[in-house]
Every structure is written in structure tokens, then in C-alpha cells.
Structure 1
Amino acid sequence: MDLCVTVKGVSFLLQTGMGILGNTVVLLAYAHIILTEPKLLPVDMILCHLAFANLVLLLTRGVPQTMTVFGLTNLLNDASCKVVIYTYRISRALSVCLTCMLSVFQAVTVAPAGPGLSRLKPALPSLVLPTFAGLWLLNMAICIAAPFFSMAPRNGTVPAYTLNLGFCHVDFRDNLSYVVNGVAVSGRDFAFVALMVASSGYILLLLHRHSRQVRAIHRSQGGGAETRAAKTVVTLVVLYVFFFGIDNVVWIYMLTEAKVSPVVADMRVFFSSCYAFLSPYFIISSNKKVKAKVLCAAEQDRPESMDTQETYDK
């Protein structure tokens, strides 16, 4: 096997495998938290949903992409391609929307109480599920065109205005539908990214300008957890924006070319999946609840032989 193909395949394999593992661990940790606590905080509910979206993203894009890189062909037929591409598009959209939702909710949480916020803050927990439903409906509507253009790879030359994903083709038939689809998807992404950057900037401004007042509130109301959560949210936003920037530079290039090399498409897939791969490990390391559950599970899974040896050593 060619060295370049091997490196690319191993990179996708590690990214997909570790990403699936990390997001699964986060979901299992939250499942255990739900069973032991009366209710989740809004931030925890959003992080749990974000891990689910990122897991689906890796399963529908990372897994078939990895298999294709290693030379496996004819993985999906036309119907399977439509389902996989549509599911991937929705999960990718939810990833950016939920990260935005996370930053907006956290900005409202740490904002000083005012006439409007005094009524909004207590209502935040009740707004989480309706917002989830709204984001699902919005992205299902925006991504509805994807199934109509998706198909299994055909033998021969790839037509113009076709995204060659390796395991599936997305054939837009003409330049107009190709550009309209790209503008709609990019417009949605840029709108949510702009909102998450603005809300994260507001969080940083609050923490910087009012550090003494914020610390006083934290001591009286247990706000230290809010500060840690705010820093976690801001870091996740920075992480997303970084990979989003790389992803969209490649995407804009792809929109300007009638025929795109599979190598370019592979680069975009890799960078667009980096957030889904890295974010669960950051959540595990920065979220005390999740970290505690993971460490507890690790302690319980210690081999009996180690415990026996410790007993003999005593």
C-alpha cells in the first residue's frame, strides 16, 4: 500500500476511533449522572446532546471515509447514501448549533441580573428542550436537499459539480444548485459562529471587567462552578472556530472548482471532524461531574489481580 494512503488511512482511523470512544464515554457518564441526580443543568444537557451529535457525525462520515481510504468499495447503495449523507449533514449542523447554544446559554447565566434577565434566567432549564427541537427542525429543513443529490459512486468520470466523498457522490447537476447549496449551508454556519463568538466575547468581557464582583457572587451563590463552566464554553468555542475556519477555507475553494480532487475532500473531512474528535476529551478533563464518573468507572474496572497483589504487599 502507498505510504501516503497508509498515513491518511491511519490518521482517519485514529481520529474516528478515538472520537467515537471519547463521545461514547461522555454519553455514558451523563447517563449515569441522570440516574443518580434529579435533573441536569442546562449546560450539562447541551454538552450531552453535543456529544451525541458528534458521535453520529463520526459514525456517518468518519467510519465510511476510513473504510474507503483503506480500499473498501461499494459500501453503500443509492438509498444508503441518501440516509448517511442526510444524517451526517444534520449532525454536523447540530454540532455548530449546539456549541452556539452552549455559549449563549452560558452568557445569559453569567450576565448581571437585569429587568429582562431576571425572568429569563430561571426559565433557562425549561427552554433547553424546546430549543433542541427547534434546532432539529431547522437543520432537517436546511439539509433536506442533500438526499436528492446523493448517490452511490458510479464507474467512469466524476461529473462536474459533484462532491466526491469516496463512499458516496453528491451530484448537484448544475452550477446554480451547487452554489445555492453551498451558500445556504455556509450562511447558516457563519450565522451561528458569529453568534457564538459574540456571546463568548461577552463572557470574557464580563469575567475581565467585573472579576471582583463576580468572585463575590460566586462565594455567596456557589458561582465558582459557573466560572469554570464559562471558561469551558469559551475554550470549546475557540476550538470550534479554529477548525471551522480551516474547514470553510477548503469549502470555499471547493465551491470555486467544478471538479474537486478527492485529496482536497479528504482534507476537509479530516479538519471538519477534528472538533468532534477533540471536544469530548476536553469535556472529560474540564467537567467535574463527567471526570468524576470516568475516574470512578476506571477504579471499579481495575483488574482483580492488581487488588490481590496490593493485598499481598500489605
Structure 2
Amino acid sequence: MELPTIIKGVCFFLQTSTGILGNIIILMCYAHIAFNERKLMPIDNITSHLAFVNMIVLLTSGIPQTMTSFGLQNILNHHGCVFVIFVYATVRALSVCVTCLLSLFQSVTIAPSTCSWACLKIKIPQYLMPCSFILWVANMVMCCGLLFYTTVPQNGTVPKYTISTGYCYLKFPDEVVYKFYGALYTGRDATIVCVMVMASAYILLTLYRHNRQVKSIRSSSPSKKSTAEVKAAEIVICLVILYVMFYGIDNIIWIYMLIKTSASSEVEYLRAFFSSSYASLSPFLIISFNKKIQKNLCIKTRRVEHSRIYLKVTSFLTDLRITWQLSTKSVALMH
């Protein structure tokens, strides 16, 4: 196996394994919090939803991409390709949609408590579940067209108007259909990114006004509620920046592939890597900012340490008891 192939495979393996681990940690922590507190805050529900979607992105794209990078061929049959491509396209779209939903929710949460905003703040948590369901259905419907163009890789060169993931092909019949789907998905992503950027700009403006008010009243310790809102807003802004950075590169490569109509395998692997980078790195960004998850991880770590100490002490006492019994029997035999 050549060195470039090994490097490429290792990069995809590290990206996939670390990303899946990070998203699983978030989901387990939120499951533990929900079990103990019997409920989750709305922003925690959205964040856990984002972690679940990102984990599915890595499972449906990262794992087969890693196997293909190491030189494995024909890892999926036709039905496997159709299923994996459909699920991946759906959850990839959901990843950006849920991030956008998170930014919109946080912009409403951090907004001043005027009459109009107060009514919206009360009602918006009730619509999060129906909104998430609508996002799932809408993205599944939008990705249904890909079911007709997905096929297994064929021997030889990649046909024209075909997108190769390495393990599956998206083979379009002509240039019109090829560019139609490209423009459709690019336009969708661009629209959602614009909404996210506007929501993030509003959050930044609100935080700026908040800091000015704090300075004007000469208060160096704002309320716990406002501090929590500021921390949550910082997470959202960082997630939006991370998404715009990686998916921006992804869409630039995608537009290049649309113009070229046939791209090299290196370009396709590069796009696949950047396409999964947000799903891989976002959980660690969430963990680094989220105090609930950090506290939950510390508690679990302490429990593991206490369990290890308990086992060591128990083992030591057992060995001591056995030694004492043997010595007692030896003394009795001597007498």
C-alpha cells in the first residue's frame, strides 16, 4: 500500500473515530442529565439533536469513506448504496438546519424582554419538536430524487455527470439534471447559511449592547441567568463560524465539480473530508463550552476513580484476610 493511500486512510479514520466518540459523549451526558433531572432545557434538546445528526453523518459517510481510502472496493451493493447515500444526504442537510435552528432559538432567547419578544420566548419551546419533525420530513423529501441516480461503482473511469464518493456513484443522465441538483442543494445551503449569519449578527449586536449596559451601571458581576445566556450565545456563534468555514470550503469544491462536470478522485476525497469536518469537530467545541456536560463528565470520572479505589481496597483486604487465615492455620498445625 502506497504512503499517500495510508495517510488518506488514517486521516479519515481519525476524523471519523474522534467525531463519533465526541458525539456519543454528548448524547450520553444529556441522557444522564435527562434521567436525573427528568427534563432537558430547549437548547439542550437542540444540541443533543445536533449531536445525533452529526453522529449519523459520520457513520454513513466517514466509515465507508475510511474503508475506501484504505483501498477496499465494492463494500456496498446497490441497495446498500441507495440507503447510505439517502441517509447521508438527509442528515447532512439536517446538520446545517439544526445548527440554523440553534442560532435562531438563541437569538430569540437572548433578545430583550419586550412584549413581542416575551410572547415569542414563551411559545417557541413548544414548537421545537414539531419544527424538528418538519425538518426531517422536508429534507427526506428533498433527497428522494437521489434514490433514482444512486448506483454501485463501475469498473473503469468515472462517467461524465457522475459524482463519486469512492464507495458509491451518483450517476445523473445529463448535464441539465446534474446542474439542477447541484444548484438546488447549493442554493439550500446558501440560504440557510445566510439565515444563520443574520441570527449570529443579531446575537453579537445584542451581546455588545448588553456589555455596554453592564459597564454603564458599573456592575462587574451580571446575573447568573444573563451569564448562562451569554455562554450559550458564544457556543452558537462558534458553531456557526465552524460550519461556515468547513461547509463553505465544501460548497466551493462542489461548485468547482459542477463547473468541471468531472473531477479527479483527489478533489472528491478532499470534499468528503471537509464535508465531515463539522460533524467531527463540533462536539468538542460544544463540550469545551458547555458547563453541564463538563460537570457530568467530572462526576462520571470521579465515580470511575472511586470504583477503582474501592476495588483496590477490597482486593487488598481480601488478600490480607487470606494471609491471616493461612498464618493462623500454620500456627495451629505447629502446636
Q: Distance in 2 between matches of 1:163 and 1:214?
A: 53
Q: Which residue of 2 aligns with 1:56?
A: 56
Residue-by-residue CA offset, 1:84-138 (whole Å, 9 max, x unaligned): 0000001100110011100000000111123321211011211110110111111
Q: Which residue of 2 aligns with 1:230?
A: 233
Q: Which residue of 2 aligns with 1:275?
A: 278
Letter of the 1:243 counterpart: F
Give the superposition deviation at 1:161.
0.5
Q: Which residue of 2 aligns with 1:168?
A: 168
Q: Which residue of 2 aligns with 1:246?
A: 249
Query: RMSD of the TM alignment (CA)?
Result: 2.1
Letter of the 1:242 counterpart: M
Letter of the 1:266 counterpart: Y
Residue-by-residue CA offset, 1:152-207 (whole Å, 9 max, x unaligned): 11123321010111110110121111101111111111111100000001100111
TM-score (ref. length: structure 1): 0.94
Conserved 8 A contact 1:19-1:276: yes
Give the superposition deviation at 1:223.
1.9
Give the superposition deviation at 1:307.
6.2
Structure 1 pair 73–205 and aligned structure 2 pair: CA distance change class (3 A) = same
Q: Distance in 2 between matches of 1:159 and 1:121?
A: 52
For residue 87 of structure 1, give the secondary structure of its aligned residue in structure 2.
helix
What aligned pairs does 1:126-205 form with structure 2 within 5 A after superposition? 126-205=126-205
Equivalent pairs counted in the alignment come to 312
Greater displacement, 169-178 / 108-117? 108-117
For residue 113 of structure 1, give the secondary structure of its aligned residue in structure 2.
coil
Letter of the 1:23 counterpart: N
Q: Which residue of 1 aligns with 2:108?
A: 108
Greater displacement, 33-42 / 72-81? 33-42
Q: Distance in 1 between matches of 2:313 and 2:229?
A: 40
Q: Distance in 2 between matches of 1:201 and 1:294?
A: 32
Give the superposition deviation at 1:141.
1.4
What aligned pairs does 1:212-231 form with structure 2 within 5 A after superposition? 212-213=212-213, 219=222, 222-231=225-234
Identity %, equivalent residues: 47
Q: Distance in 2 between matches of 1:310 and 1:269?
A: 50
Greater displacement, 86-95 / 287-296? 287-296
Structure 1 unaligned segments of length 5 or more: list them. Answer: none
Q: Distance in 2 between matches of 1:294 and 1:220?
A: 26
Q: Which residue of 2 aligns with 1:81?
A: 81
What aligned pairs does 1:29-68 form with structure 2 within 5 A after superposition? 29-68=29-68
Residue-by-residue CA offset, 1:252-292 (whole Å, 9 max, x unaligned): 11101122111111000101111111110111111111111
Q: Distance in 1 between matches of 2:65 and 2:249?
A: 19
Q: Which residue of 2 aligns with 1:21?
A: 21
Letter of the 1:238 counterpart: I
Q: Distance in 2 between matches of 1:179 and 1:113?
A: 46
Structure 2 unaligned segments of length 5 or more: list them. Answer: 317-335
TM-score (ref. length: structure 2): 0.88
For residue 71 of structure 2, give the secondary structure of its aligned residue in structure 1.
coil
Structure 1 pair 202–305 and aligned structure 2 pair: CA distance change class (3 A) = closer
Conserved 8 A contact 1:142-1:185: no
- Higher Rg: 2
Q: Which residue of 2 aligns with 1:264?
A: 267
Q: Which residue of 2 aligns with 1:301?
A: 304
Q: Distance in 2 between matches of 1:185 and 1:95?
A: 14
Structure 1 pair 273–214 and aligned structure 2 pair: CA distance change class (3 A) = farther
Q: Distance in 1 between matches of 2:285 and 2:86?
A: 28
Residue-by-residue CA offset, 1:214-262 (whole Å, 9 max, x unaligned): 6989945722111100111111111111111111111111101122111
Q: Distance in 2 between matches of 1:112 and 1:253?
A: 43
Conserved 8 A contact 2:81-2:151: yes
Q: Distance in 2 between matches of 1:302 and 1:231?
A: 32
